[in-house]
Structure 1
């Protein structure tokens, strides 16, 4: 079992190589039961995530003969880059197995740190199987992403930094996949809090579409999911790790889940208000603060203490970023998809556009459709994608279109309207 002395030893090994990432107050997230909210910006860490901490702690402890045989890992992105850089720093060769469809920027970044990338399998589980086969045939040391004593201890150094930077912390919110980061942070802060006779609440956050932990904790052992479907691929882990599980079961106060809409809304808020580039998994803690503040705060809410949301990573494909920002705009009520039926005669479209202009909407896309099952003989359908100022503005615009005599349909994805 990992303890505070292991984490302190890891911090000593990492000192001078791993950055102490900033802790920044977020006015946009602060208030209500969560009190003042601070962002622990691990997206600004070397390689763009916390993963370098555990990887470097593990590889730095290898013997000379183990280093000579090299290391191997499997990952779709963040762990791959962490292992690649840690190996370069420690002077050992690294082979990284990545699944088909892994983001090209993540492959390129991993190779830029000096690792050899091999594409294997259609998902991380299949890539891991290939990595294990490689380890068996070459004697390379397998560096797991979370289920390892040294990995958990390395990730726990984030907790030491948080309490050093903000001693008044009362709640820490952490994204949760395999469990290495949450287990390490919980071990560090719970132990330090006990030394000073105080309590700190620790909350894990999963995407509700990839949530293996609630059922596992209820059952009392790691339980594998049958399937997952979330934008937060960095925390889409089908089965909790055995080593993290015992720590999390014993130390973590609560595990909550967040919707896909909350993830994209948090990503948008962090981009706009905090000026941070964040991947969906990295935004999970902020999403929980936004969507479930009372659950996050728990009994600490009445004390109005300081809450820290760990922004765990920022490695995101620019093309995916564009899609997710668009999804976030829709989830925040600032991007609206409408279908409006209008009479098929000159000036009808101009009349609809006048209504939209009068209510300060910005048209992003428009198409004119003359055929359809629901259209009358003298009707046309206008498909509109418009930019608004938020959910209240959306409702005002839709009401105005209806009041002008038009039949309007709002696409199902725009739930806030």
Structure 2
């Protein structure tokens, strides 16, 4: 699959007709779904996931565990990194799951666009309708649907009766859409909580976020399970210990790097144990060991980027782009530093809906230098000179570069010291997607 695929061509046509981005309301998507015969009412039991950070990781853990338990699982995630198809993973008849076939996706997009009949709508809303078409037409035991933006008015929130809902960590992000305070953002995310439907709340750094979420759950009569109160997880002797009312599990550490992934894995486990198909302990163990999630503390192990880097250098990528994600990434790098000390260089691009100073602040005292680069896949990219100023304001040394490749070459050209540098390419999923695509590592 490439950007010249049938599905990509159909979606590019939509992008030429309809506005990009989000316009938070449920009226247009509800109208379209009615014309399509209400496919959102014919889904398999569905887990609905919202939050600022960790949505994708929790979804990846849940899918890996369920598939290890022999379940067929559809998953919807957004945004994609390289190909549109990444948003739609369908349960496979032979077991496991795979990204939607190009022709199947192209046909679903055509059907949804025709049903819309040119009426005002956003492309994300059409693509959400495509999710429900695909998930209703292909058999599966469960579906996992990740929110696009917010929750209360996100197009996915037409799911009236999910099997359960999950709220991952909340922090400041998309303030122009969701509000400039954590409690306002929590209220929007908590909009997916449904009357009487169990809700699992992941680890929250802000007590006010937890208070808002539990208040919504209480008001709606939704049974609630909270990380740190009803379920726990921690690292001990190189293993992950998980505990809830059902008992204690001694598990391998999650395959995804970073101490924050212990909390994400625990949230997925807690959710699945509340869901319609509680997994076996063996499936939980296998899922933690086999999980994949591209673009989140992922190491580049092959391809052109390594060829231009200093000998022995490490290159990592992470699409985290808000202050909360910055803290999680910095903690992961600090843990790496305890094992192998390397000089750290950030290569960062961001779009203008983010808070760059808050993101960069997490790396103060860690990064030797920041190189800021343009975002070529979005018109909303922050100018590298402006982004470098934000990094300097956060207490870091910074300079603009024309590209990721140029930044790596600037460091590597005359590097002779030991140990070799560690590069982190970060700040935007657009940037990570560009790197993965150029490096021949598109998610599969």
- TM-score, normalised via structure 1 length: 0.30
- TM-score, normalised via structure 2 length: 0.29
